[in-house]
A = this chain, B = another copy of it.
Amino acid sequence: MSSTIWSVDEHLDDILASVRPLEPIELQLPDAQGCVLVKDVVVEVALPPFDNSSMDGYAVRVADVEGASEEFPAVLTVIGDVAAGSAGLADDQVVGPGQAARIMTGAPLPAGAEAVVPVEWTDGGTGEGPADGMRAHADAPEGATGEVRVHRPVTAGAHVRKRGSDVQPGEPALAAGSVVGPPQIGLLAAIGCSTVVVRPRPRVVVLSTGSELVQPGEALTGGQIYDSNSFALTAAARDAGAIAYRVGAVADDAETLRATIEDQLIRADIVVTTGGVSVGAYDVVKEALSSVGDADEPGSGVEFRKLAMQPGKPQGFGSIGPDHTPLLALPGNPVSAYVSFELFVRPAIRALMGLADVHRPTVRAELGSDKALTSPAGRRQFLRGRYDAEAGTVTPVGGSGSHLVAALAQADALIVVPEDVTSVEPGTETDVVLLR
């Protein structure tokens, strides 16, 4: 154990310098949601893949409807229907001079046709006034034959979505590093990708330590408290994008803890423990962690540190086992554990995912309390607060006590008081980490 005091930034830098993004994996599109693309995706098909109609109407030759008006409509012979999903007109028919084909939105422009006249600009083949909509083929098969009166001219390409007008083969679709969200999944599907190569979601194993911990729903006896850290941090890990496994509470026994962690390594990309890191008690955790996996492997081992922060002074970080699985040992007080998770574990999870930006957004806001905040010299303090974006203020909730979980549940931000500041007057501008 080092007796040096580490700064928050030094500890975080050490973690981020050690944690490498996970190896890529090819996943089905729906399973890749929220993951990061590993390489550029290049378009292999044109979008749209063929010239198609953007309206329901009639595919025509431009010269045939030149000068058409309601008074003097162009009268064209309807030679057939082109439905969406069809390859075009039947029997290799071509729209010749004086001819038209009835066409649905999304259907391919038939050979010979140069533009689409919307059905509203025609009589819909009824021989009556302007149509207000097209009847489906099933209801009006007769509309695919006979004559249609066109009331307005069109220019070449009108109401036609050109092949490749969205993307062309060879164009970049998505760049490496993109996060695969719903619109990206839509684009990948649209260009025919059923799978995509991404970094997988990290598997996070969360376990709390302490012989005093009892599972919620059971009865407390003397000296016992409910285990809350394993629940809160598993949820927080999931929220950060991980697949999280809650192991629950392990008693303060080095051998039990060692065996439990070793068992879990098979499904862990990162291990998070809470408790057992304060000066008096950490020997159990330290003893357990020093012998997990192969002790002869280089680069392994967990180091316990004192950080210049409040809450969250005692912290452990290192790697364990044959795969050098990263492990963060957080303090056991629920607020300390939660703040430590936000500051150190969340960035580590997001680094494993390969995300470029691993941090929560930080904004500047005016302190909205009616009295000054006090903070210990030489320690960066993180107070729970509520942020009001419109007013540009942040108001502390609860006190600085690290056991105030009730107040934590009302907070949506952390108020940061720098190391060299011991008092913050109301109205002072300060850094605020947004938690939502």
* Cβ–Cβ contact A107 & B334, under 8 A: no
Contact A235 B49 (CB under 8 A): no
Q: Which of B87, B235, B251, B401 is the one whose CB lies under 8 Å from A185?
A: B235
- The distance in angstroms between the C-alpha atoms of A10 and B293, with both chains bound, is 63
Contacts of A100-118 to chain B: CB distance below 8 A: 104-108
Bitwise, A163-175 to B at CB < 8 A (1) or not (0) is: 0011100010110
Tell me the complex Cα distance, A114–B284, Å.
Answer: 28
CA distance A119 to B281 in the complex (A): 12
The reply to whether B183 and A409 form a contact with Cβ atoms under 8 Å apart is yes
- Residue A119 contacts which of B108, B215, B218, B279 (CB distance < 8 angstroms)? B279
The residue among A210, A217, A235, A238 with the most chain B CB atoms within 10 A of its own CB is A235
Contact with B along A181-204 (1 / 0, CB 8 A): 111111111111111000000000
**Interface residue? A351 (CB, 8 A):** no
Q: Does A12 belong to the interface (CB within 8 Å)?
A: no
Q: Knowing A174-B409, A278-B105, A406-B166 touch, does A216 contact B235 (C-beta < 8 A)?
A: no
CB contacts (< 8 Å) of A191 on chain B: these are: 216, 226
C-alpha spacing A23/B226, complex, angstroms = 29
Per-residue 0/1 for A1-15: is the Cβ within 8 Å of any B Cβ (1 yes, 0 no)? 001000000000000
Q: Is A308 an interface residue (CB 8 A)?
A: no
* Neighbouring B residues of A173 by C-beta, 8 Å: 406, 409
Q: Known pairs A85-B224, A183-B409. 17 more at Cβ < 8 A?
A: A50-B223, A56-B281, A87-B221, A87-B223, A104-B281, A119-B280, A133-B279, A136-B281, A182-B239, A183-B338, A186-B228, A186-B405, A186-B408, A187-B405, A187-B408, A189-B216, A190-B334
**Is A375 in contact with chain B by the CB < 8 A criterion?**
no
Cβ contact of A235, chosen from B86, B105, B181, B231, cutoff 8 A: B181
Q: Which of B48, B212, B217 contacts A225 (CB 8 A)?
A: B48
Contact yes or no, A194 B216, CB < 8 A: yes
Q: Indicate if A91 sits at the interface (CB-CB under 8 A).
A: no
Interface residues as binary, A371-406 with B (CB distance below 8 Å gives 1, 0 otherwise): 000000000000000000000000000000101111
Contact for A212 among B85, B210, B231, B406, CB less than 8 A = B85
In the complex, which residues of chain B have a beta carbon less than 8 angstroms from the beta carbon of A408? 183, 186-187
In chain A, positions 285-301 with a C-beta closer than 8 Å to chain B are none
Contacts of A119 in B (CB 8 A): 279-280
- Given contacts A56-B279, A85-B252, A30 and B234 within 8 Å (CB-CB): yes
Contact with B along A79-94 (1 / 0, CB 8 A): 0000111111000000
- Does A423 belong to the interface (CB within 8 Å)? no
Question: A38 interface residue, CB < 8 Å from B?
Answer: no
Closest to A234 in B: B30
Given contacts A283-B138, A406-B173, contact A211 B181 (CB under 8 A): no
Chain B residue numbers with a CB within 8 Å of A215 are: 194
Of chain B, the residue at the smallest CB distance from A212 is: B85
Asked if A147 is at the interface (CB within 8 A of a chain B CB), the reply is no
- Tell me how far the C-beta of A396 lies from the nearest C-beta in chain B, rounded to whole angstroms: 15
B87 touching A222, Cβ below 8 Å: yes
Asked whether A84 and B135 contact (CB < 8 A) given A56-B281, A186-B228, the answer is no
| Alpha-carbon distance between A246 and B186 when the two chains are bound, in angstroms | 13
B186 touching A409 by the CB < 8 A rule?
Answer: yes
List of B residues within 8 angstroms of A411 by Cβ: 183
Contacts of A30 in B (CB 8 A): 231, 234-235, 246
Known: A30-B246, A281-B84, A403-B48. A195 touches B217 (CB 8 A): yes
A278 surroundings in chain B (CB, below 8 A): 56, 105
Set of chain B residues within 8 Å of A25, measured between Cβ atoms: none
Residues of B within 8 A of A106 (CB): 210, 212, 225, 332
